Structure 1
Amino acid sequence: MTSHNPFDPKLYGDDAISTETKAVNDGLIKLLTGSPEWWEIGADVARETRRRGEGAFPAPVFSDKARNIEIEGKGGHKIPLRIIAPEKPRGVYLHIHGGGWVLGAFDQQDLMLERIVKNTGLACVSVEYRLAPEHPYPTGPDDCEAAAVWLVKNAKAEFGTDALTIGGESAGGHLSAVTLLRMRDRHGYTGFKGANLVFGAFDMGMTPSQRAFGNDRLVLRTLDIEKFADAFLPNGEDRRDPDISPIFAKLDGMPPALFTIGTRDALMDDSLFMYTRWIAAGNEAELGVYPGGAHGFVAFPGKLAQEANAAQDAFLARAIGKS
């Protein structure tokens, strides 16, 4: 459940967590304890395991409403985009998937994107950015930037509207923030109407909640964060460079944002801190805090996910409504 005061201490205690959410979390820990580590079996094997639905997340369901196109990225690299759109879009949602910059794919969220299309009237465009460790920083951010540039130039012709929003989950939240900053600083574009930033990782130097989470096998442990970051940033990069950790950037000129986070997520501080910096920079922002929500909770069954997803859809619809 959300609160008008996201900093109400009662939201963060065990008493605020519903019986249903506790059962979901207990089931996740039981399911994941003892499962293989992606860095031991290899990223390719882990990706195929996820595609088969073996692990925390169900196997993807592919939409018959989706179509794929390719655009040209940096150095002539072809970037696939997956599009699910209504007949007459009210706007466009540039979606960037999660997976720790290592896992995930642009076609593994079709049901979520179909829901967003239905509830907001937006066309959804999901980016198949290249993944680490085969393609470490800055490749993934470069691909997302190229997708955003393409949309700015082509959305009106492709979809009949140039009202743009952006967002994603986990690594996708991070890459969405990086993309917004690159579009402002490299292209002079600040026209996105809204940013849907869902349990994003905004400080690659590790926030206190990342460091303190420990080894509970609740989707994302401290060790997982360290391994993902090492795969994405293997070359001694400054992990608090604003292009890597957007929480350290100047955040003026950013669009209205919705930050969504659960209190049992190792990335909790990232959203709490980024929300306050977003506001302090003079931007509009909302913060949805969900008691007991684990990392990735919006994809799990239960009322907590239903409420969070409804809030995201409503935010995106409002953002376009302001255009």
Structure 2
Amino acid sequence: MQLWSEEIEAMRPEARAVVDAGMAFIAEAFAGDGEPPKDLLGAAQHMRRSFERMYSPVPEAIVRDIAGVSCRTFVPDVPATAIYLHFHGGGMVIGAPEMSDSSNLDLCRRFGMAVISVGYRKAPEHPFPAGPDDGIAVAKWVIENGISEYGSDRIIVGGESAGGYMAAAVALRMRDELNAVGNLLGANLVFGVHDWGRSPS
């Protein structure tokens, strides 16, 4: 079964070069870390330390606790047009809100949105659904406090990879648990995993 056109297939060498360059960057970031531990928790902590070197935190981020969850926030100079509830990628095991500081700051400045990047709990220490539980707790807080804190209680959820999945899960829980569809403006689900059925699409 052919999954894509010949035109797209012709891009394979260029795509491979991009992937190879990315893998070389990751290999360099991990250089000198030694052999990762064999146990699950040790391996996860090893990966987290290695990835931390690739983060580029910005000083404009305000770190605050929201609903018991550590978050990095970006606040516009005027009342926010909406709240962008951001979830970082990392397979629900690695990653941190700092990964997306630059893009979140840009969203705040460009669109006048307050951005809350959620430092959700990750596996293996905190099995599913700990991460989405943190996300829905922050969403509930925004619905209850967003107008007084930021000037809006309207939410756009978003994230990349595992963060895209987390954003989708939180949007559904906003609907099902908080009856808050009216607060949900949209979802920016960037290359998230949304179907565990392993379909080609």
TM value normalised by structure 2: 0.83
SS for the counterpart of 2:10 is helix
1:142 alignment partner AA: D
2:149 & 2:58 partners in 1: Cα distance? 20
Question: Which residue number in structure 2 is paired with residue 152 of structure 1?
Answer: 143
Task: Decide whether the 8 Å contact of 1:99 with 1:171 is kept in 2.
Answer: yes
Equivalent-residue separation in structure 2 for 1:38 and 1:104 (angstroms): 18
Counterpart Cα distance in 2 of 1:116 and 1:200: 19
Offset at residue 116 of structure 1 (A): 1.3
SS at match of 1:153: helix
Q: Size of the alignment, in residue pairs?
A: 190
Give 1:15 deviation, angstroms: 2.6
Q: CA shift at 1:82, angstroms? A: 1.0
Question: Within 5 Å, which residues of 2 pair with 1:282-301?
Answer: none
Q: Deviations over 1:32-60 (max 9, x none)?
A: 57x767866511111010001xxxxxx21
Q: TM-score scaled to structure 1, two decimals? A: 0.54
- 1:69 equivalent to 2:64? Answer yes
Query: Which residue of structure 2 lines up, in the alignment, with residue 15 of structure 1?
Result: 10
CA deviation map 1:260-313 (0-9, x unaligned): xxxxxxxxx2xxxxxxxxxxxxxxxxxxxxxxxxxxxxxxxxxxxxxxxxxxxx
Assess, with a 3 A threshold, how the Cα gap between structure 1 residues 110 and 11 changes in structure 2: closer, same or farther: farther
Percentage identity across paired residues of the two chains: 35
Q: Which AA in structure 1 matches 2:162?
A: A
Distance 1:111 1:175 in 2: 20
Return the letter of the residue paired with 2:8.
G
Query: How far apart, in 2, do the equivalents of 1:179 and 1:102 lie?
Result: 18
Question: In the aligned structure 2, how far is the partner of 1:152 from the partner of 1:125?
Answer: 13
Runs of 4+ in 1 over 3 A off after TM superposition: 9-12, 16-19, 29-33, 35-41
Distance 1:160 1:30, change over 3 A: closer
Match of 1:25 among 19, 24, 41: 19
Who is 1:49 aligned against?
50
The alignment's C-alpha RMSD in Å is 2.6
Which of 59, 71, 77 is equivalent to 1:81? 71
Shift of 1:108: 2.1
Structure 1, gaps ≥5 residues long: 1-8, 53-58, 73-77, 210-268, 270-323
Cα gap change, 1:121 to 1:38, in 2 (>3 Å): farther
The answer to whether the 8 A contact 2:82-2:113 is kept is yes
